[in-house]
A and B are shown apart, each in its own frame.
Chain A
């Protein structure tokens, strides 16, 4: 018996799917832009510039920029070797190390600050304090920022090295390189873009870090005050304009860094 030919398969338009994606994503993008526009509209340029007359805010700006930059350098120093180690070597306890490195990402920031404070009450912590005063001093700001920022840098460097073909280092070894030479001559230059991303992430995280700094460094003006602390202090005395102005300053700094890094990355791509 001859079988009836099935009806030709017809599909619906893809438009509802695409529109759905755009709508869901669009809401988030609208909120980001809306938030920044609202901040900018809240202040006149005069009010914004007025904040620079305050020596406290000038101090906080300087401390924020210097501590974030130092934290970024320290984070890269630690993240590049750990990322390479995790990506290229098998060793006992690797899964445990991997999990430990995620702790600063999943812990509430305030808990990190409190834990640092408690650590420096232990025998080892007190011994360190005798050499370099840390708690409630400037080194505590850098350490608090480092504890969080470095974890993000480590994740970025791990995935950077995971994406780089280890065969290249193998070939370098057959060409006469030790593992160290293969790393410095082949893997390290190829990881440049990943390092740039890790540095940007670490810098941005450090600039915005507040919880651990509040607990571990305190909020002493002209001493351990960074820009997020300033926003908190200005808000607590009811100076919303001041808080918004300082927030705008952080937005501008973060956007500037993002733009510079993107441009630099694009230039590297063209080479």
Chain B
């Protein structure tokens, strides 16, 4: 569950004001709005990468407003993916587990599971340089899911993909939703993404939520 209560964020002259919403556990919420309306800022505040001026953030019932990003249990896929250029795909998928000092067998099992789920088995020993857009997306998604987070935050994950790859990613994101039951917040500009994937829609304008709605 993601719950925001009266979140305010100030960045220079830009303000996100009084943002409140709740995404139930296992829900898939699309957050829509024009570029610059504050969607990414809200997403970053949930991930712990942006300090809020006031208000509270609850994840799975726990107040994590002042919690460090590392301790929030949020998987994050940024818009530019930010893959680690020096690491192999296998290292991407095992990164979060290595940080948590999991054993080699646990890590290997989880990497195989994710590679199977996301169709990355043949790419495990490659580096991100030279991967296609869809492959890079799947790696970023696998990296975010590797530590089995409760929450998944996706910042326009399909915006740079061609139509065919986008359709493939729809299928994959639906499968991830079914198999992991992770609560997802997905920023998008695209109505077809919202209709296909989301069971809840939020719309933002100039730093405010203007239309809490149920779609899908």
Within 8 A of B (CB), among A192-248: 192
Closest residue of A by beta carbon distance from B71: A176
Which chain A residues border B63 with CB–CB below 8 Å? none
Q: Is the CB of A190 within 8 A of B84?
A: yes
Question: Does A186 sit within 8 A of B, measured CB to CB?
Answer: yes
Q: Describe B's contact surface by its main secondary structure.
A: loop
Least Cβ–Cβ distance between B66 and chain A, in angstroms: 15
Q: A165-B80, A165-B82, A190-B85 are in contact. Are A174 and B75 (CB under 8 A)?
A: yes
Q: How far is the CA of A14 from the CA of B86 in the complex (A)?
A: 41
Q: How far is the CA of A176 from the CA of B68 in the complex (A)?
A: 9
Residue of A170, A178, A189, A192 near B82 (CB, 8 A) is: A170
Question: Does A66 sit within 8 A of B, measured CB to CB?
Answer: no
Question: Does B202 sit within 8 A of A, measured CB to CB?
Answer: no
Question: Does A171 sit within 8 A of B, measured CB to CB?
Answer: yes
Q: A167-B78, A168-B82 are in contact. Are A174 and B99 (CB under 8 A)?
A: no
Within 8 A of B (CB), among A150-179: 165, 167-168, 170-178
Q: Is the CB of A174 within 8 A of B80?
A: no
Least Cβ–Cβ distance between A8 and chain B, in angstroms: 38
Least Cβ–Cβ distance between B81 and chain A, in angstroms: 8
Q: How far is the CA of A240 from the CA of B99 in the complex (A)?
A: 61
What interface size band does chain A fall in? 10 to 19
Question: Which of A170, A177, A186 is most buried by chain B, counting CB atoms within 10 A of its CB?
Answer: A170
Which chain A residues border B74 with CB–CB below 8 Å? 174
Q: How far is the CA of A118 from the CA of B194 in the complex (A)?
A: 70
Which chain A residues border B49 with CB–CB below 8 Å? 170, 173-174
Question: Does A181 sit within 8 A of B, measured CB to CB?
Answer: yes
Residue of B80, B96, B127 near A176 (CB, 8 A) is: B96
Question: Which of A175, A186, A190 is most buried by chain B, counting CB atoms within 10 A of its CB?
Answer: A175
Q: Is the CB of A172 within 8 A of B47?
A: no
Question: Which of A173, A176, A192, A271 is most buried by chain B, counting CB atoms within 10 A of its CB?
Answer: A176
Question: Does B33 sit within 8 A of A, measured CB to CB?
Answer: no
Size of chain B's interface in residues, with CB distance under 8 A?
27
Closest residue of B by beta carbon distance from A271: B127
Closest residue of B by beta carbon distance from A174: B76
Question: Does B70 sit within 8 A of A, measured CB to CB?
Answer: yes
Closest residue of A by beta carbon distance from B78: A167
Closest residue of B by beta carbon distance from A189: B86
Least Cβ–Cβ distance between A77 and chain B, in angstroms: 21
Which chain A residues border B47 with CB–CB below 8 Å? 170, 174
Q: Is the CB of A172 within 8 A of B78?
A: no
Least Cβ–Cβ distance between B145 and chain A, in angstroms: 11
B138-163 near A? 1/0 per residue, CB < 8 Å: 00000110110000000000000000
Q: Is the CB of B86 within 8 A of A190?
A: yes
Q: A172-B95, A178-B70, A181-B99 are in contact. Are A167 and B82 (CB under 8 A)?
A: yes
Which chain B residues border A175 with CB–CB below 8 Å? 70, 95-96, 99, 143-144, 146-147
17 cross-chain CB contacts under 8 A = A165-B82, A168-B82, A170-B69, A170-B78, A171-B76, A171-B78, A173-B48, A173-B49, A173-B68, A173-B69, A174-B76, A175-B70, A175-B144, A175-B147, A176-B99, A186-B84, A190-B86
Give me the 6 closest cross-chain CB pairs, A-B, nearest first.
A167-B82, A175-B96, A173-B69, A176-B99, A174-B76, A189-B86
